Amino acid sequence: MTVDAPPEPNILAEEIAAGITVVWLNRPAQLNALSSTLMAELSDALRTVGRDSRAVVLSGRGRAFCAGGDLKELYPLLSEADVDVRRLQMRAFQEVVTAIRSVPCPVVAAVNGVCAGAGISLALASDVVLAGADVQFHPTFTRAGLLPDLGSLHLWTQAVGPRRAKEMAFLPEPIGAEDARAAGMVNRVVAPGQAVEAAVELAHRLAAGPRAALQMIKDIINREDQAELDASMVLESYAQAAAFSTGEVDEGVAAFLDGRAPRFGTTETEGTP
């Protein structure tokens, strides 16, 4: 009789030195896509490690930081619910952004490989963002007929300004690491494969700083836009819940799962000169 090995945890928290914790998204086979369980566990982990840490590094195991929402799980969960349940579920998912911003010490996002969809929100909710030179950011929401969520529209606008944020949302084209840095999404670009190492080095410097002062700096700067972020996420929850009733999400998700371009049915390009 064989005994199945226990499943791997979705989140790993590793204290690598006194006061320094690396929090890993741990679904490498799924490119660390955000399931409902992972988001809840990440929120809990950040609140736990934040009590004693002086600096936190957030990264993803394997070849991706985060591929965005796990549509294989989230689409059935949301599409089969009524609009009010969808809205409440979206509000629950948004807690992960609040948890990152509420950690009472600096959070450094170490972005490796792919960073797509709501994964961009996890990075931009962090206090400092480091990315490998080979990183690609993919703002992919509208390809699935969805609007950007997990506070994306607010976080993107804060990082790059309203015109660039609209372009990212309207035309979900990949953004390389250097372009992301120039736009204001990334603080530093490091050698490919070195994001975690560089983030840990920075975490050591932050942990050696004045803990109370750093916490107050973070709190004051975040408080400047917290009300706007909260209001944006409330609107986002209503809008995303409604999006699932348009029929476009059905086509967008089907196209994603089929590995093809979505056919939203409003533009015919064949034969266009």
43-67 tens-digit pLDDT: 999 999 988 999 999 999 999 999 9
**What are 89's two structure tokens?**
């579920």
Confirm if 49 and 105 have CB atoms less than 8 A apart: no
The rounded distance, in Å, linking the Cα atoms of 200 and 180 is: 21
Averaged pLDDT, 166-192: 97
Averaged pLDDT, 8-30: 96
Per-residue confidence (pLDDT) for residue 2, from 0 to 100: 56
Tell me the pLDDT of the chain averaged across its residues.
93
**What pLDDT band is residue 22 in, cutting at 50, 70 and 90?**
very high
Task: Kindly list the strands in the beta sheet with 175-176, ordered across the sheet, starting from the edge strand earlier in the chain.
Answer: 64-66, 114-116, 136-138, 175-176
Averaged pLDDT, 172-186: 97
Per-residue confidence (pLDDT) for residue 265, from 0 to 100: 75
Nearest-CA neighbor of 97 among 154, 145, 144, 137? 154
pLDDT digits (tens, 9 = 90+) for 31-46: 999 999 999 999 999 9
pLDDT digits (tens, 9 = 90+) for 86-102: 999 999 999 999 999 99
pLDDT digits (tens, 9 = 90+) for 110-160: 999 999 999 999 999 999 999 999 999 999 999 999 999 999 999 999 999
Per-residue confidence (pLDDT) for residue 218, from 0 to 100: 97
The rounded distance, in Å, linking the Cα atoms of 141 and 149 is: 8
Averaged pLDDT, 255-272: 70
Phi–psi pair at 16, nearest 5 degrees: -95, -15
How much of the chain exceeds pLDDT 90, in percent?
A: 88
